[in-house]
Amino acid sequence: MADTATQLPKTKRRARWPYFLAAAAVLAVISIKWLVPIGMEQRALAVIRAECPRVGIQIPSTTPPAPPPGASALSLLTHSTWMLSARKSTNLDADYVGPDFLREWTGHEFLRVRMIEGSAEDLRPAADQLHWLQDVVDVDLFGLEDEDAAYIGQLPRVKSLNLRSPFITDAGLSRFGEITNLRRLILPHAYINGRGFKAFSSMEQLEELDLTNTQLNDEGLGYVCKLNGLKSLQFVGTRVTDDGLVHLKNLPRLESLMLLGLPITDNGLKHLSDLKQLKTLSLLETKVTDAGLPYLLTLDNLEDLDLSETAVTLDGVRQLQVLHNLCRLRLGGFGMTNAQRDELQQALPGCEVTRY
């Protein structure tokens, strides 16, 4: 039997076309409203990836904020948080490190751009193009040398620098003093003694500083402590002694202090008693004894204290009962039994006592 639809008069079949056209129009509107922006965004990503072999784009895991009313579909790129990864490439074309078309596609302001997994070798060919990176706020590189520090200093909006390199000296460090918006500076293993911080004298906005395993000494710490906006300071494995800790009195906003592995004794602790905002303190593997603990009893805001691998005893630790905000106490390295730990926990009921 012939198909029923084919037996319908031609006029009736033609009468159905307006309905099909109307449905198609509705679908088209939906596609334009919802699908086109997605397609445009993907095409933009494709162009960026094709034109910039050294730049890796990663879509953030969090949902980007919605673009303002009336904004174009491409504003989705502008209002997202993008991470640009500097990558090694044998076919590098410096013209593509910072092309103008990136501005076309993503707008004139990046809310956040991060260079990760790159090295100084990746950065040098782009030196002449750094003018387009005016909105970079987070730089994470390794292998940097003093000559490269000048390029970093040209990025006025950088707020965070994580530069893992043993080749940076105080001469290069001084160039970072030109970055007026810097909030966080991480320089592990840098070959610096701290004199380069002379150039940071007016940088009151710097809040976090990590100088782990550098050559920082007592004199250099004096320059560091002129940065009176610091809230977090770490100089593990440096050459700082008890005498250098006297400079810490110039950091009234300090909330976190890491002194791990330093030759600090009870005489050094007396310089901590004025740090009234201190919340976190690590004295792991220092030479502190029970005699130095009274200097910590004035730290009313102290919440987290690590006394592991020191010469303190359980009798000395009991003095800490007066620190009512203390909620974490780490002890280890002097053979505390479970019974002793439980006894100490009862003496410090609001504090979690841990040992290893």
Residues 259 and 305 in one domain: no
Residues 279 and 266 in one domain: no
- How far apart, in Å, are the Cα atoms of 34 and each of 25, 31, 38, 77? 14, 5, 7, 16
Q: Which amino acid is at 312?
A: V
Residues 127 and 149 in one domain: yes
Pairwise CA distance, residues 141 & 158, whole Å = 13
Whether the CB-CB separation of 272 and 266 falls below 8 Å is answered with no
Pairwise CA distance, residues 181 & 283, whole Å = 31
Residue 4 lies in a domain: no
Single pTM value for the model? 0.70
Residue 172 lies in a domain: yes
273-317, pLDDT tens digit by residue? 999 999 999 999 999 999 999 999 999 999 999 999 999 998 999
Residue 13 lies in a domain: no
In which residue are the tokens 């994580």 written?
162
Residues 298 and 265 in one domain: no
Residue 3 lies in a domain: no
Residue 234 lies in a domain: yes
What was the pLDDT predicted at 94? Answer: 33
Residue 5 lies in a domain: no
Residue 170 lies in a domain: yes
Residues 226 and 113 in one domain: yes
Pairwise CA distance, residues 339 & 328, whole Å = 19
Residues 97 and 162 in one domain: yes
What was the pLDDT predicted at 154? Answer: 72
What was the pLDDT predicted at 19? Answer: 58
At residue 138, φ and ψ (nearest 5 deg) are -140, 115
| Residues ≥6 apart with Cβ < 8 Å to 324 | 300, 350
Residue 20 lies in a domain: no
Q: Which residues of the chain have pLDDT under 50?
A: 1-6, 8, 12, 26-41, 43-45, 47-48, 51-117, 126-127, 129-132
The CATH number given to whatever domain includes residue 301 is: 3.80.10.10
Residues 210 and 355 in one domain: no
Choosing from 239, 261, 293, the residue where a domain stops is 293
Residues 195 and 299 in one domain: no
Residues 267 and 279 in one domain: no
Whether the CB-CB separation of 198 and 223 falls below 8 Å is answered with yes
Whether the CB-CB separation of 311 and 332 falls below 8 Å is answered with no
What was the pLDDT predicted at 336? Answer: 80
The range of the structural domain enclosing residue 219 comes to 25-62+72-273+285-293
Domain count, the chain: 2
What was the pLDDT predicted at 76? Answer: 30
Residues 174 and 264 in one domain: yes
124-131 contacts, C-beta under 8 A, 24 or more apart: 124/148, 124/151, 125/92, 125/94, 125/97, 126/86, 126/94, 126/97, 126/98, 127/151, 128/94, 129/94, 129/95, 129/97, 129/98, 130/98, 130/154, 130/155, 131/98
What was the pLDDT predicted at 257? Answer: 98
Kind and range of the H or E element at 58?
strand 55-58
Pairwise CA distance, residues 99 & 85, whole Å = 15
Residues 103 and 252 in one domain: yes
